[in-house]
A = this chain, B = another copy of it.
């Protein structure tokens, strides 16, 4: 993990999201899918904490070598609004890469990646790495409306079968991502499932994969005081290996990628994590 003062190379609007590309070679060369960065807010604001942002792209090679990209939902609150207003050539104080990344299947080949809203951004980085390892990638992605579906073209480019859903039917099928999962699992011989999003989606993924005995990994989000293991505020309830007890682990260092079978979803959901964030969290 490195702390860098990173220049913003470019920033652009993508539907209802804002995507920022930073020059941060020290972070980019280490970053793996599922990891995130922690970006400092300006000193004189009345909101203090770093904002935690999933790495959408990280380029070690080629024309974009040493760059890092993340995506924010400008409507979420003051931090993402400030980030969205930053111009190219501004600087950000960034710590990363943080957290435990997704791991790649060794023997299995057919992967389904599931995401909703801005959480889809992190899946493309994963999809790329899977494809580079010769895996087959299908995707189920969604959002409330057309603008809220993140880069559907990119999904088509990276994967074999893509299901796009929107709540209002403005893009793809009308419906929810949860509803689209089973059909996608029917359409291809999926062996591994990856997902990113909110607790309701991820707990549904957990349930489906449990009943189908599919191995899965999910990237969670929980409110973080630091992002590097100091404060213990990013608690996620996780069952012990034998399932007899449970404990809170830290999303920032023990996660954000978890085996959904180990997360105690009911306990988490009851705690109030049902609508943590996102374009439709209100």
Contact = CB atoms under 8 A, between A and B. Distances in A.
- Oligomeric state, in copies: 2
Interface of A is mostly: loop
A44 interface: yes
A90 to B, nearest CB: 13
Nearest to A45: B44
Contacts of A46: 44-46
A276 interface: no
Nearest to A81: B44
A78 interface: yes
A45 B44 CA distance: 6
A83 to B, nearest CB: 13
Nearest to A43: B46
Nearest to A48: B46
A79 to B, nearest CB: 10
Interface string A63-78: 0000000000000001
A44 B46 CA distance: 6
Nearest to A46: B46
A47 B78 CA distance: 16
- A44, A46, A47, A78 pick with most chain B CB within 10 angstroms: A44
A44 B81 CA distance: 11
A47 B45 CA distance: 8
Interface in A36-60: 44-47
Contacts of A47: 44
Interface in A74-113: 78
Contacts of A45: 44-46
7 contacts: A44-B45, A44-B46, A44-B47, A44-B78, A45-B45, A45-B46, A46-B46
Closest A-B pairs by Cβ, 7 of them: A46-B46, A44-B45, A44-B46, A44-B78, A45-B46, A45-B45, A44-B47
